[in-house]
């Protein structure tokens, strides 16, 4: 899972509004070509992640659709990562080479119900993306 926009704690009564806004904004959105790597990195000191390129435009669309419902209170630059380990991750694992590519064909609205016992995610809605037309969503580094 790659987070396009962390929303924080969202009251249940806003889920329908988020779903409606994302459905409208993503209706004509195309699949994104994603590139994994080039190497692992530490995230926040206790997580190990791998950067993902190619999702900037899709993330901007998601931000634009959701900001009127859940304002950004702590603006930070968008960074796409796949978290592959959390907890007491040896820092020596950072910098390991990793590579891969795929097409992101859907965006999901996900509730993070994780606890100290482990991660737990609940899929609230899925938005399918259309196959690329004659123009391509190329990855950017």
Predicted confidence (pLDDT) per residue in 108-137, tens digit: 999 988 888 888 899 999 999 999 764 444
CATH number, span 12-128: 3.90.1140.10
The domain ranges of the chain are 12-128
Contact 55, 106 (CB under 8 A): no
Residue 11 has, within 13 A of its CA and on its CB side, a CA count of 5
Q: Per residue in 53-110, pLDDT tens?
A: 999 999 999 999 999 999 988 888 889 999 999 888 999 999 999 999 999 999 999 9
Rounded to 5°, angle at Cα 49 from 112 and 14: 20
pLDDT at 134: 43
Backbone φ and ψ for 41, nearest 5 degrees, come out as -150, 155
Q: Which two tokens stand for residue 43?
A: 């995230």
Residue matched to tokens 């991660």: 119
* CA-derived radius of gyration, the chain: 16
Task: Report pTM.
Answer: 0.86
Quote the distance between the C-alpha of residue 15 and its chain's center. Answer: 17
- Quick one: pLDDT at residue 141? 43
CB 18 within 8 A of CB 121: no
CA distance 28 to 81: 25
Other CB atoms within 10 Å distance of the CB of residue 65:
19
Measured CA angle at 76 (ends 69, 62), to 5 deg: 40
């Amino acid at each position: 899972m790659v987070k396009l926009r962390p929303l924080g704690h969202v009251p249940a009564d806003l889920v329908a509004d988020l779903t409606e806004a994302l459905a409208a904004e993503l209706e004509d959105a195309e699949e994104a070509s994603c590139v994994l790597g080039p190497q692992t990195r530490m995230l926040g000191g206790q997580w190990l992640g791998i950067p993902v390129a190619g999702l900037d435009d899709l993330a901007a669309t998601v931000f634009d659709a959701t900001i009127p419902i859940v304002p950004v209170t702590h603006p930070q630059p968008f960074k796409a990562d796949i978290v592959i380990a959390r907890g007491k991750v040896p820092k020596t694992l950072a910098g390991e080479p990793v590579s891969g590519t795929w097409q992101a064909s859907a965006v999901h609205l996900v509730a993070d119900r994780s606890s100290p016992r482990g991660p737990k995610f609940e899929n609230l809605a899925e938005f399918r993306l259309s196959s690329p037309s004659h123009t391509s969503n190329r990855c950017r580094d």
